[in-house]
């Protein structure tokens, strides 16, 4: 049991279960932010270490040490600056981190070799790199980096014991092939360094394991919260739909009684007030009907062969009375455009768009309906008006429920229209019209695309 738990910790996995939704995105974002801060801190902390290394190269008489140490320091500076710029542009990737740490460990190893081997003070930097590799690098690669650090420590110990380089030790530290210490000190030092490097890598993996557990729990809690919110929203939608449905019958009774009363009243204030009452009831019924269309689930499509041009003419005929009251004309320019759709729902899409166009059109203007075959099959219908146009501040939010620029609008017409069009596999888009106004474009797919009756 403990062995399996240790294996999961080293691998960075909490349990053999699929991660919750959003776990990978949160993990990647947080690791990228953490790596960015460490990369910035590296640029701040690196100059003092490199300055010490360059000073040692300057005061040392050995020419090979100066050349190798100077070239290593210059290469590290260029590499880390380039990598930092790349991170600012591309973000965090696992390959980038592994490459950075491998180069950093290699560079520190070379610097340690040129500044005294096992007696170099720069060997302590490798312990920090071991923790970082444990946090950011997956377990097999982080284990290999730790093994590389341990191999470097024993290689430097072997060079010191073999005395193959006469001036390995810095002149500032006494010179010679190694420090004036017995071989037992060299072996003990290498052993302790090996333990420190292994512990650093393990500590880094433990930190990463704890970090992943925290992110997993955060994503799971977010999922639970969203699920609970969705269930509550579904309950409220069903309840509000039921309330709206129950209100329709009393409103119909009020409208009917107002009509009966109007028949027995002479012209005057009383008749005017009843007319206002009936108009308000009509408006309330229209809002309730739109809300019910929005709240109830979209029923499956009843697909059939239809003529979009004929649907445009039917919708125009339905709105002749409304257009006449507002001194607006409706013009239809549409030939026979066959398409496979649910004619009742396609007609509802056009009704919503035409009503919006009539509401936005000033007196004396014309609402135009144009239908034509779409490229690749299907149909494209444009509903054009000369109103004020869509508020640019709304943007895509104009299709969200409740968003409207009309003082008496419900904000559901465009939402329902787009949902019905997408159920067919089509789309509804709004765009500014040249010369002022709005162009509402409905696209319906060809027969092959509409045959499945997609979901909104």
C-alpha separations of 122 from 48, 115, 153 in Å: 12, 8, 12
CATH 3.40.190.290 fits 304-450, yes or no: no
Q: What is the pLDDT of residue 456?
A: 43
- Closest C-alpha to 196, from 140, 103, 148, 126: 126
CA–CA distance, 387 with 24 (Å, rounded to integer): 47
Give me the half-sphere count of Cα atoms (radius 13 Å) on the Cβ side of residue 53: 30
**Domains in the chain: boundaries:** 2-228, 304-450
Q: What is the pLDDT of residue 324?
A: 87
pLDDT tens profile 203-227: 888 888 888 888 788 778 878 888 8
Q: What is the pLDDT of residue 86?
A: 74
Residues in Cβ contact with 208 at an 8 Å cutoff, skipping those fewer than 6 apart: 12, 134, 135, 136
pLDDT per residue as tens, the chain (456 positions)? 444 544 544 444 444 456 666 667 766 777 777 766 766 666 676 777 777 777 777 777 778 887 888 888 888 888 877 877 776 777 666 677 778 788 888 888 888 888 878 878 888 888 888 888 888 777 778 888 888 889 988 988 888 888 878 777 777 766 666 666 778 888 898 899 899 989 988 888 888 888 888 878 877 887 888 888 878 777 766 666 667 666 766 777 777 777 777 777 777 777 788 788 877 887 787 777 766 666 665 667 788 888 888 999 998 888 888 888 889 999 988 888 888 888 888 888 898 889 888 888 889 898 999 988 888 778 899 999 988 877 666 666 777 765 666 655 556 778 878 888 888 888 888 888 888 888 889 988 876 444 444 444
Q: What is the pLDDT of residue 195?
A: 92
Within 10 Å of residue 145's Cβ, how many Cβ atoms?
Answer: 25
CA–CA distance, 446 with 456 (Å, rounded to integer): 17
- Between strands 438-444 and 379-384, the pairing is antiparallel
CA–CA distance, 395 with 376 (Å, rounded to integer): 28
Within 10 Å of residue 426's Cβ, how many Cβ atoms?
Answer: 25
pLDDT tens profile 171-187: 776 666 666 677 888 88
- Closest C-alpha to 133, from 120, 117, 146, 115: 146
CA–CA distance, 284 with 248 (Å, rounded to integer): 9
Q: What is the pLDDT of residue 100?
A: 79
Q: Contact, 80 vs 46, CB < 8 A?
A: yes
CA–CA distance, 401 with 232 (Å, rounded to integer): 17
Q: What is the pLDDT of residue 9?
A: 46
CA–CA distance, 339 with 380 (Å, rounded to integer): 10
Q: What is the pLDDT of residue 191?
A: 92
Which residue has tokens 């909104």?
A: 456
Q: Is 208 exposed, middle or buried (0-12, 13-18, 19+ CB in 10 A)?
A: buried
Residues in Cβ contact with 78 at an 8 Å cutoff, skipping those fewer than 6 apart: none
∠ CA 392-395-396, nearest 5°, is: 165
Determine the 3-state secondary structure of 383 from DSSP: strand
CA–CA distance, 454 with 80 (Å, rounded to integer): 51
Both structure tokens of 439:
């162009």
Q: What is the pLDDT of residue 242?
A: 66
DSSP designation for 445: -
């Amino acid at each position: 049991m403990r062995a399996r738990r240790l294996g999961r910790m080293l691998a960075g996995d909490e349990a053999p279960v699929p991660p919750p939704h959003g776990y990978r995105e949160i993990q990647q974002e947080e690791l990228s932010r953490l790596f960015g801060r460490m990369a910035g801190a590296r640029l701040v902390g690196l100059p003092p270490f490199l300055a010490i290394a360059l000073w040692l190269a300057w005061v040392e008489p050995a020419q090979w040490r100066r050349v190798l140490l100077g070239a290593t320091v210059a290469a590290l500076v260029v590499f880390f600056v380039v990598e930092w710029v790349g991170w600012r542009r591309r973000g965090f990737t696992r390959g980038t981190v592994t490459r950075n740490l491998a180069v950093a460990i290699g560079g520190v190893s070379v610097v340690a070799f040129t500044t005294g081997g096992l007696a170099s003070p720069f060997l302590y930097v490798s312990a920090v790199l071991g923790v970082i590799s444990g946090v950011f690098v997956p377990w097999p690669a982080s284990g290999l980096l730790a093994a590389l650090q341990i191999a470097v420590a024993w290689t430097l110990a072997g060079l010191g014991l073999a005395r193959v380089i006469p001036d390995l030790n810095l002149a500032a530290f006494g010179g010679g092939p190694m420090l004036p210490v017995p071989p037992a000190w060299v072996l003990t030092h290498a052993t302790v360094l090996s333990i420190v490097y292994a512990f650093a890598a393990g500590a880094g993996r433990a930190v990463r394991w704890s970090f992943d557990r925290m992110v997993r729990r955060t994503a799971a809690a977010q999922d639970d919260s969203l699920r609970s919110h969705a269930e509550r929203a579904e309950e409220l939608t069903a309840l509000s739909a039921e309330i709206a449905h129950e209100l329709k019958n009393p409103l119909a009774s009020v409208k009917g009684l107002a009509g009966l009363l109007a028949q027995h009243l002479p012209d005057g204030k009383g008749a005017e007030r009843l007319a206002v009452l009936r108009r308000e009831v009509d408006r309330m019924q229209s809002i309730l009907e739109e809300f019910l269309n929005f709240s109830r689930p979209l029923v499956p499509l009843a697909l059939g062969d239809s003529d979009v041009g004929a649907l445009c003419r039917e919708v125009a005929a339905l709105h002749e009375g409304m257009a006449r009251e507002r001194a607006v004309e409706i013009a239809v320019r549409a030939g026979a455009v066959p398409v496979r759709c649910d004619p009742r729902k396609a007609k509802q899409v056009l009704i919503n768009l035409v009503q919006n166009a009539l509401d936005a059109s000033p007196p004396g203007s014309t609402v135009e309906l144009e239908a034509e075959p779409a490229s690749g099959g299907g149909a494209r219908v444009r509903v054009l008006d000369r109103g004020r146009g869509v508020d640019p501040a709304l943007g895509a939010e104009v299709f969200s429920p409740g968003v409207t620029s009309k003082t008496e609008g419900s904000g559901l017409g465009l939402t329902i229209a787009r949902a019905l069009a997408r159920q067919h596999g089509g789309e509804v888009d709004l765009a500014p019209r040249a010369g002022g106004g709005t162009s509402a474009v409905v696209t319906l797919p060809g027969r092959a695309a509409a045959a499945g009756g997609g979901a909104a």
